Structures are given as structure tokens and as C-alpha cells.
A and B are shown apart, each in its own frame.
Chain A
């Protein structure tokens, strides 16, 4: 045994998720392959986090996610520098920090991995925001490559048949776009298999997230933020399926052994919105110091949340409808239904909402959601004003005070 292992705290060691190492390996290999695409002759497509990646996998295209890259930039605390670069170029500071950081990265080849591989084409699905469309227009001009937009109508009260037909039509337009840009035909048998793997991966990911319903929770939302990467980037591959099976089994094992992630879990909280990437550790420790565990969140469950809409036997067409129904492409009324369901399922004592300057479709409306949760469900709520990547919008002392005050309310 090395000296370092002698010094580790066995209690802490027991609580560490063992699969983390595997996850890091997979992501490292993925980025190495993506960055080496020019040498292997594989096509690279940039795609939005909520976009349908499955046809890309079926066409052997390497999908690259600027948003995942944005999260890495945030976690590496490199956000300010890169955002400022974009601001120097004229992009207002009020724009999404993923977009600003990524634009800053594109022109400097900076950031944690020296920039993303150049795209051969771009695939943008606006189910998560209108921002991605503008951001991808910028990228399309900068790299001078084709852009496909999958336009997924927002659901205020219903998703009418015409909207359904519109997104289905676009799936075939998407495939035609891929065929043209890849110079080959879609193999629909392969597509069906990718669809099957995607659904299997999503189910396993949901099973991982479901483990948080156990008391004590074997993992927290902060762990989910980390382990989410594969369901975003490698959805539809055997690798993602294998990984999430391993992770689910590990969670089951922890449940069997009664291992919770927060040592003395007393208060169970639900997180809303994207993570504060540069402060996940700090926030995690802060809540844990109050014996509070963030057992679930609205963000990481957004991908598997559309599973009920997908029919494996008609994957392509049902996928189109499913992608249109993701958590932030729906009205506040539908969002409150999801919040109600999560609050009940995970038996939470409080709701923590990250009011994220970068994400207007996620954040505007939170005050109304908060009011409904407090009045109807009698659950205390906390709103933290911050930003997912741009640390200039994070005031540690203010947030610390607010968390302490919120926890006092919960304890009383």
C-alpha cells in the first residue's frame, strides 16, 4: 500500500463512487477520439445538449457538445477569462455563459482541452432555448459549415397534431441533411439498434437517478451532474449502456449496504436548474454541513423524463415528439406538475432553485413556481442568484448567508 492510501479516511473512502474512474476514462477517450477526428477521417458534428444525437451515432459521426464543453470550462474555473474574450468581440455580457465561453474558446483554442475539434457541420435543436440557435448561427458563420436546425415547438398547453407532424417531417429532413453531408445513406437497421441502445441507456440513467429516492440517498444531485455526461454525449452507444448498468448496480449495492452520500442525511432537498459548475464542491459541502442532501434535480432528469413518449419500435418518429417535450420546452403549468411529482417521489423537505442568469427559459418563471410550491405544497424554497459558468455572478458570502438562513427555517 502506498503512503497516500494509508492517510485516507476509510469513512470517506467508503462513500466515494467507484465508477467515477471509469467515467473519467470514457470521457477522456471520447475527447481524444473527437480531437483526432481529422486523422481518422471521421466527421465531427457539433450538437446541442437536447438534440437528437442518435442519427449521428448511426451515421458514425462523432458528436461534440459545446454545452458539455461549457460545463468543463466552468468546472475548470476558466469561465471568466473566456467569457471576457467573447465580450471583447462584442458579445454582450448578458448572453449565455456557455455560448460566451465557447465563442471565446473557438478563437483562442483555449480552455481545459485546448478548444473543441472543428465541426464538419452543426445540428441545433431549439428544445432547450432560442439561445442555441443564435449561438449555432455564430458557429456556422465562423467555421463556414452547414447548419441543421431542428425546430421543436414549445408546449404552452398542448402539443397539437400539426406540431407533431412538423417535428416528424424534420427528422427526415435531418436524415437527408446527414446523408448529404456524410456522403452515404442512412442504415435504418443500424438506426433502430442505436434507438434501442438510447432507450436502454435512458432507462438505466433513470434507474440511477431513482436511487436517490432511497433513504439515505446513495448519491446526490452533485453526483448526477458529473455522471450525466454520458447520457448527453454518448446516448445510443453500448458504452453508455454498459456504464450506466455498472453505475446503477453500484447504487444498488450502496443501498444494500446502507451507504449514503451525505454522512448524516436529515434533510432532503430538490435542486432546480443547471449546476453552478465552478462551485459544485463548495455547494455540496455547504449543504452536507447542514446534514442536507440534494437527492434529486430537475436538470439531470430532463433527458430520461421524456421516456414515456418514446416507442422503441417507432424510435425515429416518437423521438421527435419526445425531444419536443423536455422539461424546459414546456409551460410553467407543466413544470409545476414535474416539480410536484419529484417532490413526492424523492420525499423532499425543501426546494433549492438556482436562478441562472445564463438560462432565461429555465429561470424566468421560477418566482411563480416558487410561490406555487410554497403555497400549495407547503415546502420551503430557496432561490440562489448565480450563473452556471461566469463566476462574476456568484457572491459567496451572500449565498452562504442565504443557505444558512434557509437551513435554519428547515430545521425549526
Chain B
């Protein structure tokens, strides 16, 4: 199978992939919700980190545990595990991010019935030496808990090896993103979505092979598709689990050439030092990388970052894509919008739930926005 076909197939049905891979590789699959999960440690423990995106289907069981004012990621993730769709998981990791994920961790632990459960109560402010010291300690504890929970030993050597693998993955994803920005016609929006989604659920060694093969294909004949004539769009927000959105934007005359998403650049930005103490090195990447809004890195960091991205990637318009009921993103929105207003970049706000609103309504909003650019 061609690398892109394989990645698309995994992205299309990650559950089927995980169900098949577990017996094939004899590796435990560990679920996780957020980019603050130190995947290097899971890989070093011989596990497959599997990102949970939340179901898009009907919710029935999660409603007995969660009120209506809870985001679709938390609700959908819980629904998936209660319905048994995640029965291939050996456990799940909950890094401390927002209030909802924090409570989901308790609800999950009490109801999901998985073998293992890991809480990583990471620091929330990432600007001080004491926070760094604490984060390193949390990561070391996680390493010990993983060893115990999965009955393995995680050597420094294995961690260094995993760090190398994950750095290569981050490097390849970064290259693919930059290629998309330089040459938007080269990769369709749907392909970008598939690559990122697959990257967060596949066995990472296998993933890297596919990414390398894909990069070899892509870097041959780099000038193809240089101009699409479409507007350059940046998407900013939390997670995007709706491939249709990219497709609609493309049809409406826009290319998503960069993003500021947890399931996008926040996933692969920054690399981990490959020498020295591996745990400290993992911590330092989190302290250095641009934050998710549930973390603190000063009061203007995200705004300045977004302004920088817009300049670097010559962005025509920004689409803010938030999950409804997501507090951290909601609080940052007026400020980020103001930053874009000052930069003269038009914006569109989309709040989504489990199901997208009617297709027609969505298309019209994108068309109107992109026509305006």
C-alpha cells in the first residue's frame, strides 16, 4: 500500500487499526487525550500511544455521567470507552489540562474498567524553575507508574531511543507542514488531516517508516501544484476531528496552510534533546513549546505566537475552531481576535459539538468568509 493510502486507512478507522495491531505486535495500547502526554515514555515502555478524539456518533451512556455543559471531546471519549469501543486499551493517561479533563479522569477511572490509569498532574504555569523541577518529578513518577502498570522496565537507553524516534516523527510532520505551506497544491487538505490523525494512533516505529516513504515521494518533484489560487488559511483552536471541515474550506476557495491546534502544530513542534537526562529533556520541550490555553506562559504568549504565524505563513484569514464548552479557548478568543484585527487579518469563529451543523450552513459560512478575504 502506498504510504498515504495506509495513513488514510488508519485515520479512517483508528479503532480497527488498534484492534489489529495489539495482537500482531503484542504491544499494549494506551489511550490519551492531550498533547501533554509524554508519548516518548509510552513508546519506551513498549506501548502504542493512542489518541482519543471523541466519538462523532450518538451519545447515550456518557449522559449518565456528564451534564449537558461539557465538551464533545470529554463526552465522546467517555462514550467510546463505556460502549466498549476502546476495549483494546490497556489503560489511559490523563495529563492535567482543563477542569473537564481533570474530572473526566475520575469518572473514567471509576467507570471505564480498564487495567491501568495514569494521572499526570503537571504544573499549569510553565514559566518558573520550581515548575520545571516539579514537572520533572511528575514525569519521573509517571515513568515508575508505567513500569509498574505495564510490568516493564524503562531504561534510559530505551528512552533515548524513543526520543529519537519521536523527534524523527516530529521532524517529518514539520517538513510535511512546511511543504503544505510553501506548496499548498501538493497535498490535499484531507491528506493532511489523515497524516496527523494517523500519526497520533499508529505504532510509532511503523508510522515513521510510512512518513519517511511519504516524504521521499513528496520531495521528488517539489514544484508540482505550487499555486492553487486559493486563500491561505490558518486554523486555531483545540482539536479538529471533522475531516469535512478541511474539505469544505478547500471547496470554498481556501487552503489550510498552517494551524495552531492541539491535533496539529502543537503535537509536533519542538524537539527533545537527545543527550543528557532523558526525562529532563522531555520536560524542557513542554516548557519551551507554545502552550495550550489551559497552561500559562505569560499573558501575551499565545497572541504574539499567532501574530508570528500569520506573518511567517502569509495568512489571508484565520478560522478559530473551538469545541463548544471549551473554557480555556473561549477565554482566549476575544484577545486572539483582537490580535488578528490589529494585524489586519480577518477571522471566523466556529464552535462545534459532536455533530457538525447542516452541511449547507457550514459551506455558506466558509464561502462568505473566504470571498471576503
The number of residue pairs between A and B whose CB atoms lie closer than 8 Å in the complex comes to 146
Given that A140-B299, A157-B119, A367-B66 are contacting pairs, would A361 and B333 also be in contact in the complex, using a CB cutoff of 8 Å? no
B67 touches A363 (CB 8 A): yes
Closest beta carbon of chain B to A31's beta carbon, Å: 27
Closest beta carbon of chain B to A51's beta carbon, Å: 14
B100 touches A162 (CB 8 A): no
Given that A130-B124, A141-B299, A153-B121 are contacting pairs, would A364 and B333 also be in contact in the complex, using a CB cutoff of 8 Å? no
Q: Which of A129, A166, A331 contacts B134 (CB 8 A)?
A: A166
Q: Which of A130, A149, A166, A332 contacts B106 (CB 8 A)?
A: A332
* Interface residue B128 (Cβ < 8 Å from any Cβ of A): yes
How many angstroms between the C-alpha atoms of A92 and B351 in the bound complex?
A: 10
Fill in one digit per residue for A364-382: 1 if any B CB lies within 8 Å of its CB, else 0: 1111100000000000000
A134 touches B328 (CB 8 A): yes
How many angstroms between the C-alpha atoms of A131 and B299 in the bound complex?
A: 14
Fill in one digit per residue for A7-40: 1 if any B CB lies within 8 Å of its CB, else 0: 0000000000000000000000000000000000
Given that A126-B124, A157-B119 are contacting pairs, would A332 and B110 also be in contact in the complex, using a CB cutoff of 8 Å? yes
Given that A149-B125, A154-B102 are contacting pairs, would A91 and B137 also be in contact in the complex, using a CB cutoff of 8 Å? no
A130 touches B327 (CB 8 A): yes
How many angstroms between the C-alpha atoms of A226 and B107 in the bound complex?
A: 32
Fill in one digit per residue for B337-353: 1 if any A CB lies within 8 Å of its CB, else 0: 10000000000000100
List residues of chain B with CB within 8 A of the CB of A155: 121
**Closest A residue to B335 using CB positions:** A141
Question: Chain B CB within 10 Å — which of A89, A96, A151, A367 has the most?
Answer: A151
List residues of chain A with CB within 8 A of the CB of B124: 126, 130, 133, 149, 151
Fill in one digit per residue for B116-134: 1 if any A CB lies within 8 Å of its CB, else 0: 0001010111001011011
Q: Which of A137, A140, A169, A360 contacts B331 (CB 8 A)?
A: A137
List residues of chain A with CB within 8 A of the CB of B141: 160, 162
How many angstroms between the C-alpha atoms of A151 and B122 in the bound complex?
A: 10
**Closest B residue to A136 using CB positions:** B299
Closest beta carbon of chain B to A172's beta carbon, Å: 9
How many angstroms between the C-alpha atoms of A129 and B103 in the bound complex?
A: 11
A138 touches B331 (CB 8 A): yes
* Interface residue A165 (Cβ < 8 Å from any Cβ of B): yes
Interface size counted on chain A using CB atoms at 8 A: 49
* Interface residue A189 (Cβ < 8 Å from any Cβ of B): no
| CB neighbors of A among B317-373 (8 A) | 322, 324-325, 327-328, 330-335, 337, 351
Q: Which of B65, B111, B134, B296 contacts A133 (CB 8 A)?
A: B296
**Closest B residue to A155 using CB positions:** B121
List residues of chain B with CB within 8 A of the CB of A129: 99
**Closest B residue to A89 using CB positions:** B334
A364 touches B330 (CB 8 A): no
B104 touches A364 (CB 8 A): yes
B333 touches A91 (CB 8 A): yes
How many angstroms between the C-alpha atoms of A357 and B325 in the bound complex?
A: 10
How many angstroms between the C-alpha atoms of A204 and B225 in the bound complex?
A: 74
List residues of chain A with CB within 8 A of the CB of B105: 156, 331
B331 touches A95 (CB 8 A): yes
B335 touches A138 (CB 8 A): yes
A360 touches B104 (CB 8 A): no
Closest beta carbon of chain A to B262's beta carbon, Å: 15
List residues of chain A with CB within 8 A of the CB of B325: 94
A166 touches B131 (CB 8 A): yes
A130 touches B98 (CB 8 A): yes
* Interface residue A232 (Cβ < 8 Å from any Cβ of B): no
How many angstroms between the C-alpha atoms of A173 and B100 in the bound complex?
A: 29
**Closest A residue to B105 using CB positions:** A156
| CB neighbors of A among B227-277 (8 A) | none
* Interface residue A135 (Cβ < 8 Å from any Cβ of B): yes
How many angstroms between the C-alpha atoms of A155 and B121 in the bound complex?
A: 8
Given that A133-B124, A331-B106, A367-B64 are contacting pairs, would A361 and B99 also be in contact in the complex, using a CB cutoff of 8 Å? yes
**Closest A residue to B337 using CB positions:** A90
**Closest B residue to A86 using CB positions:** B334
Q: Which of B131, B134, B332 contacts A134 (CB 8 A)?
A: B332
A166 touches B330 (CB 8 A): no
How many angstroms between the C-alpha atoms of A391 and B294 in the bound complex?
A: 27
Question: Chain A CB within 10 Å — which of B102, B131, B333 has the most?
Answer: B102
* Interface residue B300 (Cβ < 8 Å from any Cβ of A): yes
* Interface residue A284 (Cβ < 8 Å from any Cβ of B): no
A332 touches B327 (CB 8 A): no
Closest beta carbon of chain A to B326's beta carbon, Å: 8
What are 6 A-B interface contacts by the 8 Å CB criterion? A94-B327, A130-B328, A160-B137, A173-B128, A364-B107, A366-B67
Which residues in B have some Cβ–Cβ distance to A below 8 Å?
64-67, 69-70, 74, 96-100, 102-107, 109-111, 119, 121, 123-125, 128, 130-131, 133-134, 137-138, 141, 293-294, 296, 299-300, 322, 324-325, 327-328, 330-335, 337, 351
Apart from A363-B69, A366-B67: 6 A-B pairs, beta carbons within 8 A:
A92-B333, A131-B331, A151-B124, A162-B138, A331-B105, A361-B102
